Amino acid sequence: MLREPKLSTFYSPPKHDLRLNWDSAGNHGDEGESIPDWPDTGQLFGEDPDYQKTVKGIQDIIETTLERAEDYSKVCYNMISETRLFIQESL
């Protein structure tokens, strides 16, 4: 999460883990070995069926909302066109 500039403001390593040394050069331990990112979001959410079900549900809601917005936009456009036609005919 530290690699993403927008998400780094929401990240803070655990205070009780004193071994983590997060300097600007990268995340390397005392021996120069690479310390894995914390938390490991791939392990937490990657293959979790409940998480995948939640993501799928959110995607379905977004898709339905976009379809309804498009339909509403078409209705509004038709109403505006009909109103203009009615005004022109009445003149």
Rounded average pLDDT over 85-91: 75
Rounded average pLDDT over 20-36: 54
Q: Which of 31, 34, 29 is nearest to 19 (CA)?
A: 29
State the Cα–Cα distance between residues 22 and 54, nearest whole angstrom. 32
Q: Which of 61, 43, 42, 64 is nearest to 53 (CA)?
A: 61
At position 43, the amino acid (one-letter code) is Q
State the Cα–Cα distance between residues 73 and 22, nearest whole angstrom. 49
Rounded average pLDDT over 57-82: 93
Q: Do 27 and 34 contact (CB within 8 A), yes or no?
A: yes
Judge whether residue 17 has pLDDT over 90: no
Would you place residue 5 in the very low, low, confident or very high pLDDT band (cuts 50, 70, 90)? confident
